[in-house]
Each structure stands twice: as structure tokens, then as C-alpha cells.
Amino acid sequence: MSQLEALKTFTTVVADTGDFKQIAAYQPQDATTNPSLILKAVQKPEYAPILSAEVAAHKGKPLDEVMDHLLVHFGCEILSLIPGRVSTEVDARLSFDTAATVARGKRLIAMYQAQGIAKERILIKVASTWEGIQAASQLEQAGIRTNLTLLFSFCQAVACGQAKVQLISPFVGRIYDWYKKSAGSTWVEADMTGSNDPGVQSVKQIYNYYKRHGIATEVMGASFRNVGQITALAGCDLLTISPELLAGLAASDVPLQASLHAPAALAMDIPAVHFDEAGFRFALNEDAMATEKLSEGIRAFCADALKLEKLMLAA
């Protein structure tokens, strides 16, 4: 049994890509996309015709609407290859606008439904800002499931649980990146792997808290830098993994055991926490890593959205 096959016995495996031609080989349950992954895909010759077709089909429409049609096109292609759900992201430029995020999420769902896709197969992906979390709460109340992304801190996870969102995507690799850069020459890679990896520790803390307090929100570890980060989180509800790392797991037959266990979390002494808006903003501000990575992530997604718009204008 490969590590990928073993992982599937503990955890729902999700493909993190816009390159849907790679998905079938790994037979994931779900898939996730983001603006950067879609931008990467449409720059490949085999996907360029999709961009051109969507631009032609919606000529004269606002760029943001054309972009959403493009995202939905990729989402539909992915859904034809998997049995589960696809995550499609709201424009990151709306990360601090609750009403606009709700409106965009509803529009994406309407576009999918126009293609015959049930809303239960879609997760609307939203940045884990305070405004984004409130938007997700409103979408959930409207029967639209959400995936809260760019999540780096415990306070973000607690607020998402309070909002009863469907799923969160705590980032592993970007947390790891921050601590490694911060430590500089004092970083000892061998000492910071597996359960000592700060990104792995963050996901474990969130997973155990959710299970201990009966929070139904699914935990999906994301943003991995290496196979070791993935195997250290075996047993997490879901893990979203790039095709490159899926290939690494498929090529390895090193034995794999679950390291996260819901029954064990139930016995842990973990106090309940609640955040109102002021408390959330203060807690996030106190976490330099999360503050920096959240802002950086939003900026990067915004930059890639602008690049995608330029490609659409040139098509």
C-alpha cells in the first residue's frame, strides 16, 4: 500500500490544483482551486482555449463577471472527474467587504446551478478576515457552504467555528515558511520536522479544539511544503495536496499511521474560547506571523487576479 492509499484510510484526500488533467490519476474525493492556481493553469497551452472561449462567450461583460465564469468553467471540469466538492474562491479584493463577498458567493453558486451543478458540491472559498467570516456566516445561513482560507491562527479558527462554517483551510507551509525565515541561521531543519513543525502544530491545535468542543466545522490542512508535513497530519478531516506532493505520496510505501484522533481530543483539557470582533482583531494583531501571512496572502491573490484580468483583456 502506498502512503497515498494509506492516507485515504484516515483522511479525505483533496487535490489542490487548477490543472484538472492531473486530477484523475490520484482519485481525490474533493478539489480546491485559488486565483493563483487558475492563473498558472490558463498559461499552459492546453488550457488557453478555455480562457479564450469564456472571454468570447461573455464579451462586453464586466471583467469580474467574466472571471467568475472562468472559475466556474474550471470548477465544472474538475467536478466531472471527482465524486465530491470543489472549492471556488471569491475575489480576494473583496476580503474586507462582507456584503460584496456574500453577493459574489451567491453569484458563483448561481453560475454553477446554471450549469446543472448542485450547490452542495460547491464550497465558496473566502479569506478568514473578520469580514470574510461574517460573510461566510451569512452564506451558510442561506444554505451555501463555505471554505475559509488564508487561516493562520487559532483565533481565526475559533471565529470560523462560531460562524458555523462548513470547512476551514489552516495553512501549514506558509506558517512553516514564516518561522523558518524568522529564525534565520538558528533554524535547524532536522529539529523542526513532523510534530515539531509549527504549521503542523497549528493544525493539530485547531483539530483538537474543534473535536473537544463538538464543533462540526471540517478541518482541512492546506499549503504543504513537503510530504512529511502531510504524513504528520494523517487523521485530519481532510488534507488538500498539490499534484506534485500527491505523486510523492503515491511513490512511497513507508508505513503510515494516523497522528490525529478525535476520541483522544475528547479527553483533552482544552478550555472553550469565544471571540467578538474586538477580541478577534486584538488576538490576530498579537500574532505577528498570522497578521503578516494573512495580509501577504491577500495581496498575492489580488495580484494574480489582476494578472488574470490582463490575460482576459488580451485574449
Q: For residue 192, what pLDDT is reported? A: 97
* Cell numbers given for 14: 483533496
In sequence order, the 6+-apart residues with CB closer than 8 A to the CB of 239 are 7, 11, 12, 13, 14, 220, 221, 222, 224, 230, 233
Q: For residue 203, what pLDDT is reported? A: 98
pTM of the model: 0.97
Given a cut of 50, the residues of the chain with pLDDT beneath it are none
Q: For residue 35, what pLDDT is reported? A: 84
What are the catalytic residues? 125
Would you give the DSSP letter of residue 19? -
Q: What letter represents residue 249's amino acid?
A: L
The domains of the chain, with CATH numbers, are: 3-314 (3.20.20.70)
Q: Are 172 and 149 in contact (CB under 8 A)?
A: no
Q: For residue 273, what pLDDT is reported? A: 97
CA distance 170 to 175: 9
Q: For residue 16, what pLDDT is reported? A: 97
